[in-house]
Chains A and B, each alone.
Chain A
Amino acid sequence: MIPELGHFALVLALALGVVQAIGPLIGAHYRDAALMRMADSTALMQFVFVALSFAALTVCYVTSDFSVVNVYENSHSAMPLIYKYTSVWGNHEGSMLLWVLILALFGAAVAAFGGNLPATLKANVLAVQSWIACAFYVFILLTSNPFLRLAEAPLEGRDLNPILQDIGLAIHPPLLYLGYVGFSISFSFAVAALIEGRIDAAWARWVRPWTLAAWMFLTVGISMGSYWAYYELGWGGFWFWDPVENSSLMPWLAGTALLHSAVVMEKRNALKIWTLLLAILAFSLSLLGTFLVRSGVLTSVHTFATDPSRGVFILAILVFFIGGALALFAWRAPLLKQGGLFAPVSREGALVFNNLFLTTACLTVFVGTLYPLALESVTGEKISVGPPFFNLTFAPLFIPLLFAMPFGPLLAWKRGDVLGVAQRLMAAFAVGIVAIAVTFVIKGGQSVLAPFGIGLGVYVIGGALIDLIERTGLFRLPLATVRSRAAGLPRSVWGTAVAHIGIAMSLIGIVAQVWADERIVSLKPQQTVSIAGYTLSFDRLTQRTGPNFREQAAKFTVRNSGGTVVGIMDPSKRTFPARATTTTEASLLTRGTSQLYLSLGDANDDGSVAVRLYHKPLVLLIWLGSVVMMLGGGLSLSDRRLRVGAPKPAKKTAAKPALQPAE
Chain B
Amino acid sequence: MTLWFVFALMTAAAMFAVLWPLSRRGPEAGGSDVAVYRDQLDEIGRDRAAGLIGAAEAEAAQVEVSRRLIAAADAAEATTAGRIEPPVWRRRAAVVVAFLLLPAGATLLYLTIGSPQLPGEPLASRERVAQNSSIANLVTQAEAHLERNPGDARGYEVLAPIYLRMGRFTDAANARRRILAISGETAERQTDLGEALTAANNGIVTDEAKAAFERALVLDAGDVRARFFTGIAAEQDGKREQAAAIWRGMLEKAPPGAPWVETVQQSMARVGATPPAAAPAVAAAPGPSADDVKASAGMSEADRDEMIRGMVARLADRLKENGDDIEGWQRLLRAYMVMGDRDKATAAAADARRAFASDPDKLRRIDDAIKSMGIDG
Q: Which residues of A contact B (CB under 8 A)?
A: 1-5, 7-9, 11-12, 14-16, 18-19, 23, 26, 30-38, 40-42, 44-46, 48-49, 52, 60, 63-67, 77-78, 115-122, 141-142, 145, 147-149, 151, 153-156, 200-202, 205-206, 267-269, 340, 412-415, 471, 490, 545, 548, 550, 577, 641, 645-648, 651, 653, 655, 658-659
Contact residues, B12-39 vs A (CB, 8 A): 13-14, 16-18, 20-22, 24-33, 35-39
Chain B's closest residue to A654 (CB) is: B34
Chain B's closest residue to A122 (CB) is: B30
| Chain B residues within an 8 Å CB radius of A4 | 3, 114-116, 118, 120
Which listed residue (A8, A19, A48) contacts B18, Cβ 8 A? Answer: A19
Q: Is B278 an interface residue (CB 8 A)?
A: no
**Contact B28–A119 (Cβ < 8 Å):** yes
**Contact A19–B98 (Cβ < 8 Å):** yes
**Contact A19–B22 (Cβ < 8 Å):** no
**Contact B123–A64 (Cβ < 8 Å):** yes
A-B CB contact pairs (8 Å), 18 listed: A1-B3, A4-B3, A12-B14, A16-B17, A35-B94, A38-B18, A38-B94, A41-B17, A46-B17, A48-B13, A119-B30, A141-B109, A155-B137, A202-B72, A269-B68, A414-B57, A414-B61, A647-B39
**Contact B35–A116 (Cβ < 8 Å):** yes
In the assembled complex, the Cα of A45 lies from the Cα of B6 at a distance in Å of 16
Q: Is B361 an interface residue (CB 8 A)?
A: no
| Chain B residues within an 8 Å CB radius of A26 | 90
| Chain B residues within an 8 Å CB radius of A64 | 122-123
**Contact A646–B110 (Cβ < 8 Å):** no
| Chain B residues within an 8 Å CB radius of A641 | 39, 43
With contacts A1-B3, A414-B53 known, is A32 near B86, CB below 8 A?
A: yes
**Contact B121–A116 (Cβ < 8 Å):** no
Which listed residue (A151, A155, A647) contacts B140, Cβ 8 A? Answer: A155
How many whole Å from B61's CB to the nearest CB in chain A?
A: 7
| Chain A residues within an 8 Å CB radius of B106 | 8, 11-12, 14-15
Q: Is B7 an interface residue (CB 8 A)?
A: yes
| Chain A residues within an 8 Å CB radius of B74 | none
Q: Is B153 an interface residue (CB 8 A)?
A: no
Which listed residue (B57, B94, B113, B140) contacts A23, Cβ 8 A? Answer: B94
| Chain B residues within an 8 Å CB radius of A23 | 18, 94, 97
Contact residues, B90-134 vs A (CB, 8 A): 90-91, 94, 97-98, 102, 105-106, 109-110, 113-116, 118-124, 126, 130, 133
Chain A's closest residue to B127 (CB) is: A155
In the assembled complex, the Cα of A201 lies from the Cα of B61 at a distance in Å of 13
How many whole Å from B12's CB to the nearest CB in chain A?
A: 10
In the assembled complex, the Cα of A64 lies from the Cα of B79 at a distance in Å of 57
With contacts A8-B10, A45-B17, A200-B68 known, is A60 near B120, CB below 8 A?
A: yes
With contacts A31-B28, A65-B122, A153-B126 known, is A5 near B40, CB below 8 A?
A: no
| Chain A residues within an 8 Å CB radius of B124 | 63
**Contact A37–B24 (Cβ < 8 Å):** yes
Chain A's closest residue to B118 (CB) is: A149
**Contact A49–B10 (Cβ < 8 Å):** yes
Excluding A38-B94, A645-B31, 10 further A-B contacts by CB distance (< 8 Å) are A19-B18, A34-B94, A35-B22, A116-B30, A118-B31, A118-B33, A155-B130, A155-B136, A156-B144, A267-B40
**Contact A14–B109 (Cβ < 8 Å):** yes
**Contact A12–B11 (Cβ < 8 Å):** yes
**Contact B114–A37 (Cβ < 8 Å):** no
Q: Is B47 an interface residue (CB 8 A)?
A: yes
Contact residues, B137-161 vs A (CB, 8 A): 137, 140-141, 143-144, 147-148, 150
In the assembled complex, the Cα of A471 lies from the Cα of B126 at a distance in Å of 68
| Chain B residues within an 8 Å CB radius of A269 | 64, 68
**Contact B30–A65 (Cβ < 8 Å):** no
* Chain B 277-294 interface 0/1 with A at a Cβ cutoff of 8 Å (1 = within): 000000000000000000
Nearest 7 CB-CB pairings of A with B: A63-B122, A202-B33, A45-B17, A116-B31, A37-B21, A119-B28, A119-B30
In the assembled complex, the Cα of A658 lies from the Cα of B2 at a distance in Å of 41
**Contact A1–B120 (Cβ < 8 Å):** yes
**Contact B86–A31 (Cβ < 8 Å):** yes
**Contact B54–A412 (Cβ < 8 Å):** yes
In the assembled complex, the Cα of A15 lies from the Cα of B32 at a distance in Å of 31
| Chain A residues within an 8 Å CB radius of B72 | 200, 202
**Contact A49–B2 (Cβ < 8 Å):** no
Q: Is B50 an interface residue (CB 8 A)?
A: yes
Chain A's closest residue to B106 (CB) is: A15
In the assembled complex, the Cα of A548 lies from the Cα of B26 at a distance in Å of 61
Which listed residue (B3, B36, B133, B150) contacts A205, Cβ 8 A? Answer: B36
Which listed residue (A30, A118, A148) contacts B32, Cβ 8 A? Answer: A118
Chain B's closest residue to A412 (CB) is: B53
In the assembled complex, the Cα of A63 lies from the Cα of B121 at a distance in Å of 9
**Contact A45–B118 (Cβ < 8 Å):** no
**Contact B120–A3 (Cβ < 8 Å):** yes
Chain B's closest residue to A77 (CB) is: B123
How many whole Å from B332's CB to the nearest CB in chain A?
A: 43
In the assembled complex, the Cα of A243 lies from the Cα of B120 at a distance in Å of 39
**Contact A413–B37 (Cβ < 8 Å):** no
**Contact A9–B10 (Cβ < 8 Å):** yes
How many whole Å from B323's CB to the nearest CB in chain A?
A: 51
| Chain A residues within an 8 Å CB radius of B113 | 7, 11, 141-142, 145
With contacts A45-B17, A78-B144, A117-B31 known, is A651 near B121, CB below 8 A?
A: no
| Chain A residues within an 8 Å CB radius of B2 | 1
| Chain B residues within an 8 Å CB radius of A52 | 10
In the assembled complex, the Cα of A545 lies from the Cα of B151 at a distance in Å of 12
With contacts A31-B79, A38-B18, A64-B122 known, is A577 near B33, CB below 8 A?
A: no
| Chain B residues within an 8 Å CB radius of A1 | 2-3, 6, 119-120
Chain B's closest residue to A147 (CB) is: B114
Max chain A Cβ within 10 angstroms of own Cβ: one of B27, B52, B54 = B52
Max chain A Cβ within 10 angstroms of own Cβ: one of B61, B106, B121 = B121
How many whole Å from B321's CB to the nearest CB in chain A?
A: 47
**Contact B13–A45 (Cβ < 8 Å):** yes
Chain A's closest residue to B126 (CB) is: A153
Q: Is B60 an interface residue (CB 8 A)?
A: yes
In the assembled complex, the Cα of A281 lies from the Cα of B28 at a distance in Å of 32
| Chain B residues within an 8 Å CB radius of A471 | 50, 52
| Chain B residues within an 8 Å CB radius of A122 | 30
| Chain B residues within an 8 Å CB radius of A45 | 13-14, 16-17
Chain B's closest residue to A38 (CB) is: B21
| Chain B residues within an 8 Å CB radius of A118 | 30-33
With contacts A200-B68, A269-B64 known, is A12 near B10, CB below 8 A?
A: yes
| Chain B residues within an 8 Å CB radius of A77 | 123, 144
How many whole Å from A636's CB to the nearest CB in chain B?
A: 15
Q: Is B253 an interface residue (CB 8 A)?
A: no
**Contact B36–A202 (Cβ < 8 Å):** yes
